[in-house]
Amino acid sequence: MSFDTTEHNRRRFSFDGVPSVWLFGYGSLIYKVDFPFLERRPAHIHGWVRRFWQGSHDHRGTPEAPGRVVTLIEQANARCRGMAYRIAPDVFDHLDVREKNGYLRFSTELAFDDGTGAEGLVYIATEDNAAYLGPAHEAEIARQIAASHGPSGRNDEYLIKLAEALRELGDEDPHVFEIERYLR
């Protein structure tokens, strides 16, 4: 089931007088950069892991046959690697629509590879949204991904591109790579 968060996100944060905002991407925002940015830097956030537990009814699946895409799940002592983008606030007009199926914007502390950090935003689909599918064995997730496709393409393309992007970042994500092994 779809859960449109576009308007909720637009009311959630005020960017009055703010020239730019850092955004952390951990899924397709790493490799599918269809928005303008002022700066791009590898980064990570603490206390979160990437999981294929969110349903995609509007991009990599359909309402009748949802695909699976990543969200973040809290986990003590964890670290999630991704890409940070410094963007103008008006870019959220596009991103809020792109990430509308259950994702909400949250504040987070970003850590950059050079040891510096910054406050930023991240889209997370929490378990209380209607599109949340929850945990499943990696083999089951791979089967669902292999069978799913939607307006943005095949769900397996999302998984493969994410795995490739994580390798380019030097990240070892056991969950993503295990699903990829089952898929191949």
Residue 181: partners with Cβ closer than 8 Å, 6 or more residues away: none
User: Which is the catalytic residue, given 7, 39, 99, 127?
Assistant: 99
Cβ-contact 162, 183 below 8 angstroms: no
Tokens of 20: 């730019």
7 labelled catalytic: no
Q: Are strands 117-125 and 21-25 parallel, antiparallel or unpaired?
A: parallel
Cβ-contact 145, 52 below 8 angstroms: yes
Looking at the annotation, which residues are catalytic?
A: 99
